[in-house]
Amino acid sequence: MTALARAGIAAQRTREPGGSQGAEAIRRLLLEGADERWDAIAETLLFYAARREHVTRLIMPALDHGTWVVCDRFADSTIAYQGYGRGLPLAELQALHRFSLGDFAPDLTLILDLPVADGLARAARRSGNGDRFERLDPAFHERLRKGFQRIAAANPRRCVVIDASGDVDDVHRAVLAAVTARLRVALAP
């Protein structure tokens, strides 16, 4: 966000699930509680309820005012988690997206990729016991990683895979380089 501000670009930072009052309430339902609190379909419907609320209340108004939106996770996460991870049919997830948001999609999606064991170790250092998803077994996380890789391969004009195995500064430089190249803005670290 600092690099965007230095470049004179107004930007709003947000996250999913969450980002608006209603979506934050749904976030708590999704991330807290027992690991198998929701089945895959209920989980997906909650994510899309939160996403619809988030897009209509925060993202679209910001974009309408010329403000960039930088969102930690979006619809690709549902395809990866509930589709590749939980096994829901991808076509049905895509139909739900069209029903909820039409053809709305980010201009750029950065996928931070690293081996599953490394990602789980980082998550544990960051948040202790982790949320419901971080506590799922490594096989789920392997399916998830492969899902994100497939999403990126299927959407090369929108997605950039960033090797996140380096240190924070290396990853930051790679992110800025990807944004600079794809969105044609000069960003300095």
Query: Which amino acid, one-letter code, is at 17?
Result: P
The mean predicted confidence, pLDDT, of the chain is 92
Domain that holds residue 120: 2-183
Strand partners, 15: 72
In this structure, what CATH number is given to the domain that contains residue 168? 3.40.50.300
Residues sharing a CB contact under 8 Å with residue 62, sequence separation 6 or more, in sequence order: 12, 68, 69
- For residue 119, tell me if it sits in a domain: yes
- For residue 28, tell me if it sits in a domain: yes
**Do 11 and 67 touch, CB atoms closer than 8 A?**
yes
User: For the segment 5-55, what is each residue's pLDDT rounded down to a tens digit?
Assistant: 999 999 999 999 999 999 999 999 988 877 778 899 999 999 999 999 999
> What pTM, to 2 d.p., does this model score?
0.90
- For residue 189, tell me if it sits in a domain: no
In this prediction, residue 45 carries a pLDDT of: 97
Q: Dihedral of the CA atoms 125, 132, 31, 59 (nearest 10)? A: 70
- For residue 188, tell me if it sits in a domain: no
Weakest-pLDDT range from 28-32, 99-103, 123-127: 123-127
Q: How confident is the model at residue 126 (pLDDT cuts 50, 70, 90)?
A: confident
Domain count, the chain: 1
